[in-house]
């Protein structure tokens, strides 16, 4: 029988992976982010109240870019105060601790300080960019629907969010 020169090439396709962990579900990541947001709001809303943010908004005055940038930076500082030690010691935020998930590198090791800075600089910094930051952040979050369940900030830092203790 003659060989068909128009036939698709045949090859055994296998995907090798050294992942020793189970990726966290999108729902666990979502609820961990919600917990982190609620904890942040408990601190930031009173600061915004005493800074007069709500008075201006109620009077129809839209906060300026500098005001928004200042509160964005205050938010980053509050995030670091609340979660910094947890992130460095276990790769978790308060929300991730409650939902038993953590951040690891591609080789299932705890992310070091530099990796965490890259990850959260992107995650927390992008929304602070005037005009386009919100759109980029939206795209960042939509990446969670990829097969690897990695947001764009995970890909930038080469990290995964995984279940703790195989759960």
Asked if the structure places residue 151 within a domain, the reply is yes
What tokens appear for 93 in the block?
């935020």
pLDDT digits (tens, 9 = 90+) for 70-116: 888 898 899 999 999 999 999 999 999 999 999 999 888 999 888 88
Contact in structure between 101 and 113 (CB atoms under 8 Å): no
Q: Is the residue at 59 inside a domain?
A: yes
For residue 104, being part of any structural domain is answered with: yes
pLDDT for 55 equals 85
**72, part of any domain:** yes
Query: What's the pLDDT score for residue 30?
Result: 95
Say if 69 falls within a structural domain. yes
Cα dihedral value 54, 63, 34, 137, nearest 10 = 170
Q: How many CB atoms lie within 10 A of CB 137?
A: 21
Residue-number span of the structural domain to which 96 is assigned: 26-166
pLDDT confidence of residue 63: 79
- Alpha-helical (H) ranges within 51-93 are 53-58, 65-90
Cβ partners under 8 Å of residue 80, min gap 6: none
Residue-level pLDDT at 95:
96
For the chain, the domain total comes to 1
Query: Does 3 map to a domain?
Result: no
Q: What is the pLDDT of residue 131?
A: 85
Q: For residues 100 and 164, is the Cβ–Cβ distance under 8 A?
A: yes
Query: What does the pLDDT read at residue 158?
Result: 92
Strands (E), the chain: 101-105, 159-163
For residue 101, with 0-12 CB atoms within 10 Å meaning exposed, 13-18 middle and 19 or more buried, which class applies?
A: buried
Question: pTM score, two decimals?
Answer: 0.79
On whether residue 1 sits in a domain, the answer given is no
Residue at 11 is within a domain: no
**Is the pLDDT score of 33 beyond 80?**
yes
- pLDDT surpasses 60 at 14: no
The pLDDT assigned to 122 comes to 87
Please enumerate, as own/partner, the contacts of 115-122 that have beta carbons within 8 Å and a separation of 24 or more.
115/157, 115/158, 115/159, 116/87, 116/88, 116/91, 116/157, 118/156, 118/157, 119/153, 119/154, 119/156, 119/157, 119/159, 120/79, 120/87, 120/153, 122/152, 122/153, 122/156, 122/157
Instruction: Give residue 52's pLDDT.
Output: 82
Identify whether the C-beta of residue 72 lies closer than 8 Å to the C-beta of residue 128. yes
Q: What percent of the chain has pLDDT over 70?
A: 91
Residue 42 above 90 pLDDT?
Answer: yes
pLDDT tens per residue, range 138-153: 999 999 999 899 999 9
């Amino acid at each position: 029988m003659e060989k068909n020169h128009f036939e698709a090439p045949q090859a055994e396709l296998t995907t090798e992976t050294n992942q020793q962990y189970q990726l966290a579900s999108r729902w666990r990541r979502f609820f961990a982010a919600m917990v982190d947001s609620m904890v942040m709001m408990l601190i930031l809303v009173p600061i915004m109240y005493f800074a007069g943010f709500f008075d201006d908004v109620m009077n129809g005055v839209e906060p300026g870019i500098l005001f928004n940038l200042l509160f964005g930076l205050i938010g980053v500082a509050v995030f670091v105060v609340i979660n910094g030690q947890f992130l460095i010691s276990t790769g978790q935020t308060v929300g991730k601790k409650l939902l038993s998930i953590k951040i690891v590198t591609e080789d299932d090791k705890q992310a070091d300080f530099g990796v965490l800075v890259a990850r959260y600089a992107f995650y927390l910094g992008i929304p602070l960019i005037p005009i386009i930051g919100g759109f980029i952040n939206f795209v960042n979050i939509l990446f969670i629907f990829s097969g690897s369940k990695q947001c764009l900030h995970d890909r930038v830092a080469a990290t995964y969010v995984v279940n703790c203790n195989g759960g």
